[in-house]
Each structure stands twice: as C-alpha cells, then as structure tokens.
Chains A and B, each alone.
Chain A
Amino acid sequence: MNRAGAGPNRWLALARAGWRQLRETARLAVGVPDYGSYLRHARAQHPDVEPLSYEEFFANRLAARYGRGRSRCC
C-alpha cells in the first residue's frame, strides 16, 4: 500500500478490497468462482485455447452446479 498516500486513499483502497472480497464470497456462495482467476489460469496454462467468455463461463458454472441436481443441505 502506498504509505505516502495514507489517509483517505488508504481507506478507499481498503474499502475496495473489502468489497471485492465480499463480492467474490457472495458469487462463490451461489457457485460462480472468480472469472479473473479463471482467465489468468486459462491464459497461462492453455495459451493455445481461446478461454470462455464471461457469459459462457457463467453458463458453464450454472450447469455444473445444478445439472445433476445439487445435494443441498436440510
């Protein structure tokens, strides 16, 4: 974190990080992992294959979560 920019900037950065974490948690709670991580992974490990677009990624995760039903808790 930029020490020189302490004060409001620091709080803003913290709030941003908190929001990102909250967003990621909420999305994973309904079975959609982080798209950015997927992109980074796909580009680094499989540079020859075009990665899924966000829409395709979303549809893929939806089918994976619910396709065969989901053992949900009581």
Chain B
Amino acid sequence: MTNILNKLGWVAFALFGAACLAVVALQRGEPVNAIWLVCAAVAALVIAYRFYGRFIATSALGLDPSRATPALRRNDGLDFVPTDRWVLYGHHFAAIAGAGPLVGPVLAAQMGYLPGTLWILAGVVFAGAVQDMVILFCSTRRDGRSLGDMIRAELGNTAGSVAMLGILAIMIILLAVLGLVVVKALAESPWGTFTVAATIPIAMFMGVYMRWLRPGRILEASLIGLVLLFVSIWLGGVVAHDPEWAAAFHFDGRQLAWMMIAYGFIASVLPVWFLLAPRDYLSTFLKIGTIVGLAIAILWVRPDLQMPAVTKFIDGSGPVWSGGLFPFLFITIACGAVSGFHALISSGTTPKMIASESDIRLIGYGGMLMEAFVAIMALIAAAALQPGVYFAMNSPAAVLGGTVESAAAAISQWGFVITPEVLAQTAKDIGESTILSRTGGAPTLAVGMAQILHSVLSGEGMMAFWYHYAILFEALFILTTIDAGTRVGRFMIQDLLGTVHAGLRQTESWAGNLIATGLCVAGWGWFLYQGVVDPLGGINTLWPLFGIANQMLAALALIFACAVLIKMKRDRYLWVTALPAGWLVLCTLTASWQKLFHENPKIGFLANAHRFSDAAAKGELLAPAKTQAAMQQIAFNNYLDAALCALFAVVVLITLVFGILAALKARRNSQPTALETPYVSAATVGT
C-alpha cells in the first residue's frame, strides 16, 4: 500500500515538474515568472537523482556498501578520513563550484533563457553528474588516485601523457579566461578595483593572524576578514566619489592585465599560509553564503524573466559570442551542465574521505546537480534583466559605439527596445560611469544579482553596494583560482622541465620555482593580454576556447569511464557513459572544426588570421590595429588560437583511439580486467 502511494507521489511530482517546464517553454507574449523555472529545475533534478542516479549506483556501477573504501582501509586521520556524507558533500560542492557555472549561462542568455535551461538540465542529468559520479567511483576503487594516473594505468602510458598535456593546456586557458573576466569587470571601475585590491592586505592580515596571533583559528579569522571585506566595499564607494582617489584606482584593461600577471607571479611564489590559504577561506565561505542567499532572494522576489524564451540570435549572429546553437551553446555553457574539470576534483581529495560506497551517489551525482542549480540561478539573474541592458553590457564596443545614444539605437534595431536614459540610469544606480560593453559575464550577473538583492534589502545607494558586492564575490574566488592554478601549472611544468634537467624538478629549488612559475604566468598572461586587446572583446575568442578545453577534458574522462565499464564486464550499461561521451566528442570536434575552418572571421580563427594578414599585405589597417606590426600581431594570435584548438581536437581523438583499443583488448579477455584495489570487507576494518 505505501509502495503504491509512494509511486503515486512520484508520478504527481513528475507531472508537477512537467507542467512547470511547459509553462517555461510554451508561454509566449508575457514574461514568465522565474518561480516556474526554479520549480521545473528542482523537479527535474530531484527526479533524476531519485531514479537515474539510483539506477547508475545500483545497476550500472554496482556500488557495494560492504566494500571497504580507501578512507576505511588507509585511515590516517589526515588525508584518508571516513567522513559524514553531508559534511563531505559540503567539501565536494565547495571544490567544484566556481566562476564557470555563473559566467557560462549569462553568456548563453543571448539566445534566450530556454536553450540554456534545457541544456543545463539535460546536460547535468545525462552527462555532468554521470561523469562526476563515475570518476568518483573509479577513484574510490583505486585508492583515490588522480584522473591522469588512472588513465595511464587503464589506457596506457601514451594516453596518460596525452591527458596530462591536455590538462596543462586547459589550465593555461582557464587561468587566462578567468583573468580576463576579472579585468573586464574592473576596467574603468575605481570602486571595484579598490575593493578587490583590498582583499590582498585583508587576506595577508588573516594569514598572519592564523599563523602567529591565534594559530589555526579559522572561524575568528574568517569573521574578521568578512567584516573587513564589507568595510572595503563601503570604502570603495567613498574612493569612487573622491576625484583624487578615484583617479588612483582608475585603470584600463591593459594596465589591469599587467597587474594581474604580476600578481599571479608574486602570489604563487609567496608562502601559501600568507595569501593563498586565507583568501581561499574567505572566498569559499563567501561563495557558499552568496549562493544560499541568492537562492533565498530569488524565491522571495520571484522576478519576471524579461528576456524572451528564444531570441533571433539562435542563428549564430549574436553580438555576445558568435556561432550557431549547435555546437556553440553546448560549449558556452560548460560548467553548469558538464565540466571536465570536475573529473580532477572527483579524483582528488573527495574519494579519500568517502566512508561508504553508498555515499557516492549523493556526493558525486548530487553535488553536480547542485552546481546545475547554481547555473540556473545565474541564468535567472541574467534573464531577469531588461534585454536591452543585457545586450548593452555584453556587446563589443565596436558594435555599440561609444555613447548611450548610439548603443540604445543599435540595440533597439535588434528588436530590444531601450532608451539611452535607462542605460545611463542603470550605470548611475550601480555607481559606475557606464554599463556599455562590460563584457565577460561577471558585471551582467552582478547587475542581475544587485537588482534581486536590492528588492530584498533596499535603500539609498544599496543597489551600488550590492553590485560591488557581487563583483567582489566573483573576483575573489577567481583570484584564488588564479594563484592556486598557477601553482598547479608551475609543478606540472617543473615535472616536465625535470626531464630535461633533473635539478629543476626539485620543488625546493628557487631556480626551478621561478622558471616554472614564469613560464606558467607567461602562458596564461599571453592569452589574457591578447584577450584584452582583441577587436571582438576577448571573451568572444577565449570563452569558446575554454569551453572546448573543458568539454574536451569531460570527453576524456567519459571515454576513460567507458573503457573501465567494459573492463569491469559491465558492457550492457555502457550506454550510460557512452551516450554523453559520444555527445561531447561530437560537440568538441564540431566546435574545434568550426573555430578552425569556418569562413566567417568572427567564428573561424584561420579566416580571421587571413583577413588581417591579407589586409596587411595590401598595406591596409583594420580596427583596432593602428600599425602594421599590430596587424601582424593579431594575425599571429589567431594562428596561435587555431593551433591550441587543433591541439584540443587531437587530444580527444588520441584518447578516443586508446580508449577503443583498451576496450577491444578487454573484450577479448573473458575475465574482468579493471585494475581496482582488491576487495576488502568493510566489516573487517576498524575505524
């Protein structure tokens, strides 16, 4: 009886979700309230967790709670610790949530809110959460080894080395694009620049506090840090309104790019307790707090979605990023739907703390569903803006012209009616001189968040406060990613350099440290600077490269997962990982192909390179280049982008070949050949 009631309950819940989704998808004419989107998303995610997540756990992977996890077998109280599932859920979610799921959906909103919503929901259920969970499972069964190690062991040394190269390349492009997001958000903004700069001394104070004054007191130091952060937002407003101080914190994109490069270098060679660790504490707590706060605020305010469900830009002619719905929507929204980077996290510290295999569904699958929910909230914040404001903020200056009048005229011509007064007033409300061409996603999200939070806590000047709070929130964890990521890149490069000169591998060696850090910073700094001077606004060029890289890594992880399923003799469930793997291979290869060979210079790197080199050969100048040298430089940059894109495609193809070879070999053997740690009963291991 209860069984039938239970089933009826789920049917009713599914119908409710379907009805919400129908409202979101089918209503035309009047704006749809965001609450429908929230309900549709929650219903889809909960049902996916209950049914598909459970199917993968029990049938496809055959999770075995009686099997001792690495945390039980190797418990040392430090790295390997059996941990309460909800505590570990928090740890895992904090590690996977970053800027990606916030920026991608904002950029994707140029096609309307519907394509992005559908891809986030379908992508997370069938690809993203599956990847995170299966890799977490594989790593848990292999003593918590990393993705690169596991690929090396299961697919061979060559595949492992290719994967490592791919991981280094994605690291470089990730740091460049995140750096660009911050540069774009802080350019010409004394308030934002002051506030973000203030986080450096604040973090250093916390570092000293936790090391010398009150060692290890995280809560105290973080509370002091948070209070100081809020003071710095307020002080930023004072600075911005004082002409002399404002001038001291007023920088253009190029200056900020150089500052970011210098910062990345210094921050990653400083001792970790001094800057990196304390700022990571701040950014982690601020991130979780803000996500929870934003969810509550959206439910409280229930904004209308001003953006149409689908805009005319699905044909690929949009100003924010170029290229058609397929494949570029699936590249633009990487992290919220499926993110290869999570495969690195799922094979990092989390598998070493899983207390029972039965927790893998909650942490791996459930953690990623929460990330998708964050992406949906970012999409809501962007779609709740007036479309005219959205396009004013995200279109390149070359399209909008320099004034609110020219921008309003251009945007109204696309069918999104907006007046110059609204554009000017919005800038005034958020305490900035202009909102035109504030590309990169972060400022748009900040305005969206500010409008929503302002409806909860309003007051004179509060809109500007919330805007800069949101900018700070994003910049803070991006900067943490930049110095932590530069360190990761540095050690990868030191490993590579070690093959040339053994001394350079020594992590204590100052020469090795400085050379490797310099190379890493130069790598991402190059792409960052190129993005800042890019004629199309940089994000247009770098974000697709980053998306391709991230999906490439996901494809790698899922190809590996397919090979493991075959090696485990679980061929009949192969479709669970083969379906998303195939889709991601298709997306990354099509997108790489188009980025390379598309005849439209806005899409194809080679076409754009030829455009500039041909014009240079005729002695002409194309904007924004002002000299022949700059023309050559832009052509060269495009060739470099093309080479990177080709590299990503080649990495996917090589891994695919090795995956198929490993699978065929496993099929010829009648026994399971997956290299798992031997079974130990959980009952025999004391905790």
Which residues of A does B touch, CB under 8 Å? Answer: 21, 23-34, 37-42, 45, 54-55, 57-74
Contacts and interface: CB of A to CB of B under 8 A. Distances in A.
Given A38-B77, A74-B100, A68 B488 contact: yes
B284 A29 contact: yes
A74 B96 CA distance: 8
Given A28-B91, A33-B353, A71-B345, A58 B83 contact: no
A72 B480 contact: yes
Contacts of B490: 69
B78 A31 contact: no
B201 interface: no
Given A28-B90, A33-B353, A41-B75, A70 B216 contact: no
B349 interface: yes
B481 interface: yes
Contact of B218 (A27, A65, A71): A27
Interface stretch (B336-344, B426-434, B557-565): B336-344
A74 B481 CA distance: 7
A73 B98 contact: yes
6 closest A-B pairs by beta carbon, nearest first, are: A69-B487, A58-B216, A38-B77, A69-B488, A74-B100, A41-B77
Given A33-B78, A73-B98, A26 B285 contact: yes
Interface string B108-134: 000000000000000000000000000
B277 interface: yes
B234 interface: no
A64 B447 CA distance: 38
Given A25-B90, A62-B273, A73-B339, A34 B81 contact: yes
A57 B76 CA distance: 12
A70 B218 contact: no
A40 B218 CA distance: 22
Nearest to A27: B218
B487 A64 contact: no
Interface of B: 75-79, 81, 83-84, 86-88, 90-91, 94-100, 174, 178, 210, 215-216, 218-219, 268, 272-273, 276-277, 280-281, 284-285, 288, 334-335, 339, 341-342, 344-345, 348-349, 353, 480-481, 484-491, 507, 546, 550, 687
A28 B86 CA distance: 11
A74 B341 contact: yes
Given A26-B285, A28-B83, A73 B95 contact: yes
Contacts of A30: 94, 218, 277, 280-281, 284-285
B177 to A, nearest CB: 8
B78 A64 contact: yes
Contacts of B97: 73
| SS class, residues of chain B in contact with chain A | helix
Given A25-B87, A72-B98, 16 more contacts: A23-B219, A26-B218, A28-B353, A29-B91, A30-B218, A33-B83, A37-B77, A38-B81, A66-B272, A66-B277, A66-B487, A68-B487, A69-B485, A71-B488, A73-B95, A74-B174
Contacts of B687: 41
A60 B481 CA distance: 21
A54 to B, nearest CB: 6
A66 B485 CA distance: 10
Contacts of B98: 72-74
Contacts of A55: 215-216
Contacts of B288: 29
A24 B84 contact: yes
A53 to B, nearest CB: 9
A31 B342 CA distance: 17
B484 to A, nearest CB: 5
A46 B600 CA distance: 67
A57 to B, nearest CB: 8
Contacts of A59: 215-216, 273
A17 to B, nearest CB: 11
A60 B488 contact: no
A28 to B, nearest CB: 4
Main secondary structure of the interface of A (DSSP, over half): helix
A66 B281 CA distance: 12
Most-contacted residue by chain B among A21, A23, A34, A72 (CB, 10 A): A72
Contact of A63 (B81, B86, B272): B272
B281 A73 contact: no
Contacts of A61: 78
A30 to B, nearest CB: 5
B684 to A, nearest CB: 15
A38 B370 CA distance: 30
A58 B178 contact: no
Contact of B95 (A63, A69, A72): A72
A58 to B, nearest CB: 3
A70 B335 contact: no
19 contacts: A25-B87, A27-B218, A29-B90, A29-B288, A45-B75, A57-B216, A61-B78, A64-B78, A66-B277, A66-B280, A66-B484, A68-B488, A70-B484, A72-B98, A72-B480, A72-B485, A73-B335, A73-B342, A74-B174
A21 B353 CA distance: 16
Nearest to A32: B218
Nearest to B272: A66
A67 B88 CA distance: 21
Contacts of B79: 64
A66 B276 contact: yes
A64 B78 CA distance: 9
B445 to A, nearest CB: 15
B281 A28 contact: no
A73 B546 CA distance: 13
Contacts of B219: 23, 26
Nearest to A24: B87
A74 to B, nearest CB: 4
Contacts of A74: 98-100, 174, 178, 334-335, 339, 341, 481, 546, 550
Nearest to B343: A71
B491 A69 contact: yes
Nearest to B485: A72
Nearest to A33: B81
A28 B81 CA distance: 11
Contacts of A67: 272
B489 A54 contact: no
A66 B79 CA distance: 13
